[in-house]
Amino acid sequence: MKKCATLLLAFLVHASAQAAEVTIRIDASHPGPVISRYLYGQFMEHLGRDIYDGAWVGPDSPIPNRNGLRLDVLQALKDIHVPVIRWPGGCYADEYHWRNGIGPPDERPVTLNMSWGGIEETNAFGTHEFFELVEAIGADAYVAGNLGTGSAREMAEWLEYMTSDSHSTLAELRRANGRDAPWRVAFFGVGNESWGCGGNMRPEYYADLYRQTAEFLKVSGERPKKIASGGHDALTTWTEALSQVRTNIDGISHHYYTTPSGVWAAKGSATEFAEGEWISTLSRALRVEDHIAAQEAILGRNDPEGRIGLYFDEWGAWYDATPGASALYQQNTLRDAFVAALHFHVFHRHAARVRMANIAQSVNVLQAMVLTQGDALVLTPTYHVFKMYVPFQDAMSLPVSYDELPDYVLGQYRVPSLSATAARGTDGKLYASVANLNPHEAAEISLTVAGAPLKRASAQVLTADAMNSHNTFAVPGAVQPKPFGGIVVAGSTLKMTLPARAIVMIGID
Ligand code: AHR
pLDDT digits (tens, 9 = 90+) for 382-441: 999 999 999 999 999 999 999 999 999 999 999 999 999 999 999 999 999 999 999 999
Nearest residue (by CA) to ligand 1, atom 2, is 90
Dist. CA 372–CA 440, nearest whole Å: 32
**Torsion angle of the four alpha carbons 140, 99, 226, 168, in this order, in degrees rounded to the nearest 10:** -90
* Confidence check: pLDDT of 14 > 90: no
Cβ of 160 below 6 Å from ligand 1: no
> What percentage of the chain reaches a pLDDT higher than 90?
94
Dist. CA 463–CA 361, nearest whole Å: 23
The mean of the pLDDT values for the chain is 95
- Determine the residue of 314, 315, 361, 363 to mutate for testing ligand 1's pocket, defined as the one with the most ligand atoms within 8 A of the Cβ atom: 314
Mean pLDDT in residue range 311-333: 97
Nearest residue (by CA) to ligand 1, atom 9, is 90
Q: Which residues 6+ apart lie within 8 Å of 363 measured at CB?
A: 44, 49, 50, 51, 54, 55, 73, 369, 370, 371, 372
Output b/e per residue, 62-80; b: 16+ Cβ within 10 A: ebebeebbbebbbebbeeb
Residue type, 219: V
* Confidence check: pLDDT of 329 > 80: yes
Mean pLDDT in residue range 272-286: 98
φ and ψ at 216, to 5 degrees? -95, 0
- Determine the residue of 44, 91, 258 to mutate for testing ligand 1's pocket, defined as the one with the most ligand atoms within 8 A of the Cβ atom: 91
Question: How high is the pLDDT of residue 8?
Answer: 41
Q: What is the largest CA-CA distance in the chain?
A: 95
Question: How high is the pLDDT of residue 452?
Answer: 80
- 121 is annotated as an active-site residue: no
Cβ of 192 below 6 Å from ligand 1: yes
Q: Which pTM was predicted?
A: 0.95
The atom number, within ligand 1, closest to the CA of 91 reads 6
Weakest mean pLDDT among 15-24, 101-110, 359-368, 462-471: 15-24
Nearest residue (by CA) to ligand 1, atom 7, is 90
Residue type, 187: F
Cβ of 277 below 6 Å from ligand 1: no
Cβ of 360 below 6 Å from ligand 1: yes
> What percentage of the chain reaches a pLDDT higher than 70?
96
- 289 is annotated as an active-site residue: no
Burial degree of 341 (CB within 10 A; 0-12, 13-18, 19+): buried
* Confidence check: pLDDT of 6 > 60: no
Confidence of residue 15 (pLDDT cuts 50, 70, 90): very low
DSSP-derived 3-state class of residue 259: coil
The DSSP-derived string for 80-136 is TT--EEEES-SGGGGG--GGGGSS-GGGSPPEEEGGGTTEEE---S-HHHHHHHHHH
The DSSP-derived string for 298-361 is HHHHH-TT--SEEEEEEEEE--PPPTTSSTT----BHHHHHHHHHHHHHHHHTTTTEEEEEEE-
| Number of Cβ within a 10 Å radius of residue 196 | 12
Cβ of 45 below 6 Å from ligand 1: yes
Tell me which residue of 362, 365, 358, 423 sits closest to 394, measured CA to CA.
423
Mean pLDDT in residue range 19-40: 94
Confidence of residue 19 (pLDDT cuts 50, 70, 90): low
Whether the ω angle into residue 507 lies within 30 degrees of 0, i.e. cis, is no
The atom number, within ligand 1, closest to the CA of 328 reads 2
Confidence of residue 18 (pLDDT cuts 50, 70, 90): low
